[in-house]
Structure 1
């Protein structure tokens, strides 16, 4: 059932034709309109975005970019859907006047993708180009790596200089940190982290002091017990001698 809303949506689209080259007997009709919705996406700005339907599978981003650039003006970006078969696209122009030119295209106008100015690859050539585009240029990669390393080294040097300046301005006091363990390039600790470390260190010292106190107490108690045992041994020895003397044999 065709509703009134669907009819209005269908009539809001304009049409034009597209073909692969001048020798192509088949043409496909494109449906397009200005992309304007209530929740407009930032990547598809209002008054500069064209929404296109029924794009043939052989059409690429470069083909659309070149075609609409030649017809209407500079294109900022082209986004094709990843669906199989016929696709949809969002074409974002750099200027609003380019969108106005696109909306004024005649319904009988035919876009030819492949001509003397533009090359539209298909088949094996298209697959080879898509594969080669996935490969990263070795020289460009080397340049990016060198720039990243230089930037990283500069950040490290700035951090070391800041720490050195902070130590010198600390009234002669030197803050000792575990750089040997944490490394030269480790990030500086936060105040909350330093407080927790100091608190744990104080608790460890108190526990050590208590353990030392208990050890001393145990040692003293052992000495006292040993002295008492020795004293008791002497008393028992003395009593034993007295008993021996009392048990002396007297026959008469």
Structure 2
């Protein structure tokens, strides 16, 4: 069931949700009309700094044949437009993959939502006060919008890539990639030089840049320390783990003490026989 609409005396059509309905015609002599819903963009949790709350108009049900330039031209009658952003669903942001336009997938042909940012806050009120019976025109004589066979031919020509332009885009990407790799290699080399040990195993600690923590040990020193700790841990875990191991260890220790005692007795007896033993 369609939502009910309220017609004001001034000709403005407002829905119960607070949206203002604007009619749209492709050409001035067209009989068919399209309807768009607009509302002032008021979202408390808005994180996009490119959508100021006092100058942004939220638009629903934008037809697929309306590009950013067409939408900007239509709403320019309410005031100077700063930017136009078209999305597939509310709240979403255009993906910035960092790829060239030649490797970016073609956007879907569907009804979209838009965020129109005006330079003046009064333009939002002017758009909301536009009468419903005065439709916006998409294609005018001064700026026509291509349709049919002309549109297909234009889109086909635009889809063809010139080898020179593609080569320039590839060269630019590779130059940025090589520069990033060189910076990474330089950074790793500087870290290796700073962490280099001297002959005695000491590492020279230098004060790094702002926000960089100095590391007093190199990777090799850390690996040696970890190996030593693992050996100690394994020795503690395996030594005298069972009761019989502790019993055998005690017996072996007592036997060594007795053996040493007997050896000391024999040595003392030998010294006495040689009259070299002088206890006092």
TM-score normalised by the chain length of structure 2? 0.49
Structure 1 segments, 4+ long, off by >4 Å, are: 1-4, 6-9, 130-137, 170-176, 189-196, 203-207
Measure the CA separation in 2 of the matches of 1:126 and 1:101. 36
The question of whether the paired residues in 1 share the 8 Å contact of 2:15 and 2:21 is answered with no
1:146 Cα deviation after fit: 0.9
What residue in structure 1 maps to residue 265 of structure 2? none
Measure the CA separation in 2 of the matches of 1:166 and 1:29. 68
The question of whether the paired residues in 2 share the 8 Å contact of 1:18 and 1:111 is answered with yes
After superposition, give the CA deviation of every residue in 1:172-209 in whole Å (9 maximum; x if it has no partner).
77889xxxxxxxxxxxx9969756622454479899xx
Measure the CA separation in 1 of the matches of 2:160 and 2:216. 42
- What is the aligned counterpart of 2:25 among 14, 19, 25? 19
What residue in structure 2 maps to residue 10 of structure 1? 16
Give the structure with the larger helix fraction.
1
Measure the CA separation in 1 of the matches of 2:186 and 2:109. 55
The question of whether the paired residues in 2 share the 8 Å contact of 1:73 and 1:93 is answered with no
- What is the aligned counterpart of 2:41 among 14, 19, 35? 35
What residue in structure 2 maps to residue 46 of structure 1? 53
The question of whether the paired residues in 2 share the 8 Å contact of 1:66 and 1:118 is answered with no
Number of residue-to-residue matches in the alignment: 192
Measure the CA separation in 2 of the matches of 1:113 and 1:164. 65
- What is the aligned counterpart of 2:145 among 109, 120, 132? 120
Measure the CA separation in 2 of the matches of 1:130 and 1:175. 67
- What is the aligned counterpart of 1:78 among 58, 81, 85? 85
Measure the CA separation in 2 of the matches of 1:196 and 1:49. 56
Where 1:10 maps in the other structure, the secondary structure is coil
Where 2:66 maps in the other structure, the secondary structure is coil
What residue in structure 1 maps to residue 247 of structure 2? none
After superposition, give the CA deviation of every residue in 1:195-231 in whole Å (9 maximum; x if it has no partner).
6622454479899xxxxxxxxxxxxxxxxxxxxxxxx
After superposition, give the CA deviation of every residue in 1:134-183 in whole Å (9 maximum; x if it has no partner).
9795122321321231233134224424543564xx6777889xxxxxxx
Q: Higher Cα Rg: structure 1 or 2?
A: 1
Where 2:57 maps in the other structure, the secondary structure is strand
The question of whether the paired residues in 2 share the 8 Å contact of 1:49 and 1:92 is answered with yes
Gap regions ≥5 residues in structure 2 = 7-13, 90-107, 204-214, 235-280
- What is the aligned counterpart of 2:176 among 147, 152, 161? 147
1:55 and 2:62 aligned = yes
1:34 Cα deviation after fit: 0.9
The question of whether the paired residues in 2 share the 8 Å contact of 1:61 and 1:80 is answered with no
The question of whether the paired residues in 2 share the 8 Å contact of 1:48 and 1:96 is answered with yes
What residue in structure 2 maps to residue 66 of structure 1? 73
- What is the aligned counterpart of 2:127 among 99, 102, 108? 102
The question of whether the paired residues in 2 share the 8 Å contact of 1:17 and 1:109 is answered with yes
